[in-house]
Structure 1
């Protein structure tokens, strides 16, 4: 059952406009990911709306691409915020975040960011996405603390290199610093 938010559901033309807008954004995501050089008319055709309707809502391709990128940023922010709300073991939380991050499609949408000149509306969501992702990464990597600040940093960099190497295949990089001693691991606990 849908909770009553106090706002009436859109009806008539407003409902149709909302539905068309979502169809346009979905079509734009698909069309521009397939071919960043595609035209607005390609989006209108895929969305099943007239070009006049499309141009009434989005005057330029840059404006539409900005909305598609904003949609991608919001998907990434949602994935990161879900991870930050998860009180589980940091590595498992990080792994679940990476799955959500990839499944969100946000990363693919952000590949379009270099295809237009942003109007500034994407700066705040981009900052928010960066902050949330950094907080998620800090869990498994930044949580490692011994007693010696330089050694902490060395071990954090070592574990980060392990994580990054695990994400890259088949090449392996050299791990920075020496591995932790049993005494260091024991001290952690």
Structure 2
């Protein structure tokens, strides 16, 4: 079965929606108090086009966090459903997938800034159940330190999400570098593998203090 191509108007609306959501994520993770007009400006769309899709900043924040939760659920569900893979590799892939999904950046910046919907509460509860189950399986398989809790893992995700240096590619590279350190500290028996990507140098760290033009 093939999907019929969207009409020109629908295709443009879909493109606008992608631009709006990408812009909203960038704007609000940088400054949760930013006005919705800043999103329209960054996305390069008119404010009326934005309001046709999202009638308020609250609705836009709900959509952002809803999408983030769905990405989390998708990654965690894969881990829980995998009964054939090596237990440690399944759990490590789950950790890497959550870091790539980057839903923790939204948690850090947007938690408490808007009223969650019933759907968000339900998805949050589902995500939590899946995280607990992925953790339980790893502990029972004897590959994860039993003194580490699901709450510990959640806060480790937030710590990794706070790493931001250079562009998106460099930020992702560094997050995986430090995730590799975390992974080695969680694993039973202890392991040590080469860290991905180079460490940040003094110039990279110093650039954080230089205002953008």
What residue is the counterpart of 2:106 in the other structure?
109
1:141 positional shift: 1.4
1:72 partnered with 2:68: yes
What residue is the counterpart of 1:159 in the other structure?
146
Mapped to 1, the partners of 2:33 and 2:118 lie a distance apart of 22
What residue is the counterpart of 2:172 in the other structure?
none
Gaps of 5+ in 2: 160-177, 179-213
Number of corresponding residues: 152
- Superposed CA deviations along residues 1-54 of structure 1, whole A, max 9, x for unmatched, are xxx44x312121111011101111111111100111111000001111100111
1:62 partnered with 2:58: yes
Mapped to 1, the partners of 2:149 and 2:17 lie a distance apart of 43
Mapped to 1, the partners of 2:14 and 2:149 lie a distance apart of 46
**SS of aligned partner of 2:4:** coil
What residue is the counterpart of 2:89 in the other structure?
92
Gaps of 5+ in 1: 145-155, 170-189
1:110 positional shift: 2.6
Tell me if the contact between 1:44 and 1:50 (Cα under 8 Å) persists in the aligned partners. yes
- Superposed CA deviations along residues 102-137 of structure 1, whole A, max 9, x for unmatched, are 111111123313111123231221122112111111
Mapped to 1, the partners of 2:133 and 2:40 lie a distance apart of 39
Choose from 106, 129, 132 the match for 2:130.
132
Question: Following superposition of structure 1 onto structure 2, how do residues 38-53 of structure 1 map, counting pairs within 5 Å?
Answer: 38-53=34-49
Deviating more after overlay: 81-90 vs 48-57: 81-90
**SS of aligned partner of 2:127:** helix
Bigger Rg, structure 1 or 2: 1
User: Cα RMSD between the aligned structures?
Assistant: 2.5
1:159 positional shift: 1.8
When the two structures are superposed, what TM-score results if normalisation uses the length of structure 1? Answer: 0.72
When the two structures are superposed, what TM-score results if normalisation uses the length of structure 2? Answer: 0.64
Tell me if the contact between 1:94 and 1:136 (Cα under 8 Å) persists in the aligned partners. yes
